[in-house]
Amino acid sequence: MENGKPTSRRRFLCLTGGLAAGVVLPALSSTARGAQTEAAGGNPVEDLMREHGVLRRVLLIYEETANRLDRKEALPPDTIEASAHIIRRFIHDYHEKLEEEEVFPRLQNAGKLNDLIAILTAQHQAGRRLTDTILQYYQPAQEPEPPKHKEKMPAAMDQIYGGTPLIFKPKKRKPSGPKYEVGSAMRQFVRMYRPHAAREDTVLFPALHSIASPREFQALGEKFEDRERQLFGAGGFGKIVDSVADIEKKLGIYDLSQYT
């Protein structure tokens, strides 16, 4: 400073600082308000997308499992059952129910994405059928009880058929949930749900954000968090992630560096 007057550099900093204060501070205030909103009620779109992260990790488990079934390699105990139960409980019974009950109706009432929603709904139903097929592998049908005594066949029938007539022969029961059917169901599930989740992340969820008011958005986030807590308890999402990680470790696919 010379003779009590600010230098040109000082004047420049004062000018730009004043401009920054006028422009940046409102933006920071808006960001702070958004953070407070998320802290109070959560962000429903972020919740749905992080749940897709769980789905995608199980899709990797399904791929690895199907490949091992094709190669007739041994699998860690309960790998198929545990991963399919995560899909049923966390994806079908929770995540998809939220979409069907809270997200789809709002968009339909706004006249948005009706064709996409019809396809997504049909895929939810198809996914549940595939999960049923996968879990049937662990629910084999009971063998029929053998007859207590063998009825004597009339002599004429015995001469004609040489034993039990064809019409009386028991039908061979198809095996319940053979391994090739489980692997096929897993591959179909992966093929359908990868584009399914990607389309929701990039089209459906942004559309929800565009039609919901800030108050409705916050209320929806609170509803999602309440439902998660009711079904899975406090820290439920973390427990689900831990369960997925346990399966990944058993299969040897947990280490992220192997995908580099």
Task: Give me the residue spans of the domains in the chain.
Answer: 42-138+175-259
- Reported pTM: 0.71
Q: Which residues pair with 2 in a beta bridge?
A: 5
User: What is the phi-psi region of residue 83: left when phi exceeds 0, alpha when psi lies from -120 to 50, beta otherwise?
Assistant: alpha
Residue-by-residue pLDDT tens, the chain, 260 positions: 445 555 444 444 444 444 344 443 344 333 343 344 334 457 999 999 999 999 999 999 999 999 999 999 999 989 999 999 999 999 999 999 999 999 999 999 999 999 999 999 999 999 999 999 999 876 544 444 544 544 454 555 455 445 444 444 445 554 444 678 999 999 999 999 999 999 999 999 999 999 999 999 999 999 999 999 999 999 999 999 999 999 999 999 999 999 99
Q: CB-based contacts of 65: which residues, under 8 Å, 6+ apart?
A: 75, 79, 80, 83, 183, 186, 251
CB 196 within 8 A of CB 188: no
Cα–Cα dist 31/21, whole Å: 15
Our CA angle for 5, 10, 14, nearest 5°, is 110
Residue 172 pLDDT: 55
Residue 244 pLDDT: 98
Closest CA to 43 of 203, 217, 223: 217
Residue 42 pLDDT: 73
Residue with tokens 């820290």: 235
CATH 1.20.120.520 fits 42-138+175-259, yes or no: yes
Closest CA to 48 of 227, 214, 188: 227
CB 95 within 8 A of CB 124: no
